[in-house]
Amino acid sequence: MKLGVVILAAGAASRIGFAKMLLPYAGQTILGHIIQEIKALHPAKICLVAGKYADEIQKSLGSNSVDIIPFVNWQAGMAASIQFGMDYLMEKEPNLDTLLFVVSDQPFLERQLLFRMIDAFQQSGKGIVAAKYQEQFGTPVLFHSKYITQIKKLEGDRGAKKILEQHLDDLVLVDFPLGEFDIDTLEDYSQFQLLLKQENAH
């Protein structure tokens, strides 16, 4: 299994007004934590699609064995960012058979979840594995490379969810209860810190 990872970090974060993925977490940043967890999978290549905050992200990460690719057309929406990252991956590693898409504002993302997703992918024979939370599904999402053509046809801001909905028979879901929690406001970040304290108290 040859895995490529796209981290989506190109959004404007308009509700919070700054690079929310660079908020502090566990002695580093939320984005730094997410990259650390992804690296545990030893993928063939990791690329990070950066947009409005490309310069800040570059300064924060430095040389982190992640390819930071600024996307000048980031305002075109999630689908365009997904395609930009995927095209870069396939150019650098044309023999990838699996693609993992991760967003940069799910602070509770852990390597255990990612390993469970890979296990589900390998054992089920299905072509898509997605995280499940609150009776819905979403990121992270793992795709077999047979879906590349469909990913290239995505439009708008819904990301790859349309493909999941069209291929429920080829989809496996892995529970990620805290996956619904992302950071859009400072209140969200305060709530995140509170949840962390509760998790650590167990």
Distance, CA of 94 to CA of 177 (rounded, Å): 34
The model's confidence at residue 79, banded by pLDDT at 50, 70 and 90, is very high
Write down the H helix ranges in the chain.
30-39, 54-61, 78-92, 111-124, 148-152, 161-166, 186-201
The model's confidence at residue 14, banded by pLDDT at 50, 70 and 90, is low
Contact 188, 108 (CB under 8 A): no
Distance, CA of 26 to CA of 79 (rounded, Å): 31
Contact 176, 133 (CB under 8 A): yes
Collapsed DSSP state (helix, strand, coil) of residue 77: coil
- For 92-129, write each residue's pLDDT tens digit: 999 999 999 999 989 999 999 999 999 999 999 999 99
pLDDT higher than threshold 70 for residue 138? yes
Q: Tell me what pLDDT residue 108 has.
A: 92
pLDDT higher than threshold 70 for residue 12? no
Domains of the chain: 3-201 (3.90.550.10)
pLDDT higher than threshold 90 for residue 185? no
